[in-house]
Chains A and B, each alone.
Chain A
């Protein structure tokens, strides 16, 4: 269907898809922060009766009446669900589920009764027709643009403006709803307004990209951003960019695999999400595991060096710690497989690096062992003199601290302890 993404047709499809994804991405960040990610799903399904009633009453496929109907339906979804939760004590998820599935069922019945003979089949609402975007063109200041670009671009612009306008208020509502309520902000109106924007966005996107994409684009890019960012500002930007990136990847993918754009957009956003879960710099599974492994190896190597130093030299430089204190290794049978693996790989690494020869630390290994033993002694004195803890009161995690004391901190402990003595 799409010859190439670089053709004019490809560009037009991409622009519609990217605007839709960007518009959803901005609002999605707000929903994810409020733990209302399922709201997108609920609204995308729940607006169906509103769309049909708007369509039947106006008798045309104009966007405006359908948009009004959908807005009313979306407000009904959020208000009734909240009311059921707060006043009737229904579980929040169940309340949402009851409302939107009922409305969806009602919508299907309306379609069957009123709109049977016209092409308002639920499939069209589900899949959208982004590939057909270039067929209907409108003139815009001399530029010929696809007709379905207007609503999605409009939604994108409205969402950007609304985010800028209500930035502070939304931030407060997202992170500290209690304070927002107490500080005389129109809390309910702000939250309702957000949901109205979600409804506007989903309706504007329906025609272009279908409701599946709205569900995916409201949730996935924002979740990616949530994994990558710690500030709302960066989160909103990353979420928008992630949406647009999935639009690009989705359009390319649809061309390569000869299938629909919305489905491919959702799939590629899923791949991006997987990538973020695995690779996110601070929280990704792979970097976190690598960091843990690195530290475990380092601790293990330092321990081996210190122990063999004590065994070979008998005592450390100051004479505070002697070989009798060398931490006896647990009998191998009691070690778990992973800790045995860790120990032996640390030993191999030490040998390869030349820090340890025939069980005796040499060169750099000796220096590391001395530094560690010095820290151990300082830490023990600090614990005894400042914290009033006897050395046998320090348990394993406390011993571990010696591996994490940096030079600056060591110096401060040292000078602190010395100044006290003098």
Chain B
């Protein structure tokens, strides 16, 4: 069903996606996502110079040229903001524009000096040709992925420190600068290896997108790396499968769009950070707030001597037109409903009283002890009775009482 050729491509793109995912996660944490784009574009002059010097299209020569020029670009992007007032974004854009422009000028030079129509091969670098991936290339990607995972796994702690707290790293004798250099070199190497397969812009995409998607799913360093690698590999597999079944579709862009697909899914569905769960959270908050208002309104009536209250007397904000909060409260056994009249059950009364007491004490404490203006306090959003433990409430009560006594 899957031809051997496809299998090779599949293996290659999977390994490539893994590489890019891992290094991309590291770059994302250092806020250097767009460095990948600059480095990818900046490989062009190195490739051209290597081609002119070696006068051949051997992978080793061109690869070395690309790597050198990628490292020069990375060094420039890091160096310019240190020695001048050029900011990081401008440095990235300038290095990208100038080096890519120089590369294009060199391509023109090679083409017009007519050293054997070989510039076509250089042109291919811009867009890549995944479908023509060789077995040896796929093998290279595989090895690169394994080496990269090993390096990152064995230097896990150092990388973690240099991403989050480089100063602490320096003070605890972790060679942050070397780690930094290592990360940049890994990025450059990944890009150089990936260029022939997916091209300049799409390499950058594979570095940026899986990492940005993985960030939705986790707050932890290890799992970020793991998820980002998985998503990279997943995009490689999905993209390759789609593009082999539709001969019109070039593999590189389809892989990138699969990564974008994963990004959109993460954006929508990820727990906690995803848009859907953010929406659900906001809804559940607002429902809890309505129910609290409802119970509080009934309690208010009871404190004024009414044991039962008619539904129309409850303020709109506490009950909403659709009566959903009332229904929910009845189901939960907090409210008893007899026709149009409602009253609190025993559990409902305890609940409402506790909430009200916590709220009052907290507000009192904020105004008296923390001297915050009463008008500025808006406690509606928080379920304060869940945050303040009964012991804490007692403590607050005591401190307020003490103050009033004195």
Contact = CB atoms under 8 A, between A and B. Distances in A.
Interface of A: 1, 32, 35-38, 40-41, 45, 84, 87-91, 93-98, 101-102, 104-106, 108-109, 112-113, 122-123, 126-127, 212-213, 215-220, 222-223, 226-227, 253-254, 257-260, 262-267, 269-270, 273, 277, 283, 285
Given A35-B89, A259-B109, A266-B104, A123 B123 contact: yes
B93 A41 contact: yes
A243 B190 CA distance: 34
A220 B105 contact: no
B208 A219 contact: no
26 contacts: A35-B90, A38-B37, A84-B267, A91-B215, A101-B205, A104-B205, A105-B254, A108-B250, A112-B248, A123-B126, A215-B100, A216-B101, A217-B97, A218-B97, A219-B96, A226-B85, A226-B90, A227-B84, A227-B86, A259-B106, A263-B108, A267-B105, A269-B97, A270-B94, A285-B83, A285-B84
Interface string B75-94: 00000100111110111111
B101 A102 contact: no
Contact of B256 (A105, A219, A220, A285): A105
Contact of B93 (A40, A112, A253, A265): A40
Contact of B90 (A106, A108, A223, A253): A223
A90 to B, nearest CB: 6
Nearest to A131: B108
Interface stretch (B10-18, B28-36, B54-62, B172-180): B28-36
B285 to A, nearest CB: 17
Given A105-B202, A270-B98, 5 more contacts: A91-B212, A94-B212, A112-B253, A260-B105, A285-B84
A283 B84 contact: yes
Contacts of B113: 258
* 6 nearest A-B residue pairs (beta carbon): A266-B101, A263-B105, A216-B97, A270-B98, A101-B205, A219-B93
A264 B31 CA distance: 31
A41 B108 CA distance: 22
Contacts of A32: 87, 90
A108 B103 CA distance: 21
A3 to B, nearest CB: 15
Given A270-B98, A270-B102, A94 B249 contact: no
B208 A101 contact: yes
B202 A97 contact: no
B263 interface: yes
B252 interface: yes
A260 B93 contact: no
Contact of A94 (B100, B103, B211): B211
B349 to A, nearest CB: 41
Given A91-B31, A98-B209, A283-B85, A264 B201 contact: no
Contacts of A254: 105
Contacts of A41: 34, 37, 93, 96-97
A218 B98 CA distance: 11
B140 to A, nearest CB: 23
Nearest to A101: B205
Nearest to A214: B97
Contacts of A96: 34
Given A37-B92, A113-B248, A122-B127, A264 B105 contact: yes
B29 to A, nearest CB: 9
Given A122-B126, A263-B102, A263-B108, A220 B97 contact: yes
A118 B265 CA distance: 35
B126 A95 contact: no
B324 interface: no
Nearest to A280: B84
A127 B104 contact: yes
Interface in B43-87: 80, 83-87
B157 interface: no
A262 B90 contact: no
B201 A126 contact: no
Contacts of B273: 88-89
A422 to B, nearest CB: 49
A220 B97 CA distance: 8
Given A109-B253, A259-B112, A263-B103, A35 B94 contact: no
Q: Of B107, B109, B249, which is in contact with the most chain A CB atoms at under 10 Å from its CB?
A: B109
A259 B248 contact: no
B36 to A, nearest CB: 8
A112 to B, nearest CB: 5
B204 interface: yes
A253 B109 CA distance: 11
B193 to A, nearest CB: 18
B257 A91 contact: no
A93 B34 contact: yes
Contact of B31 (A1, A87, A93): A93
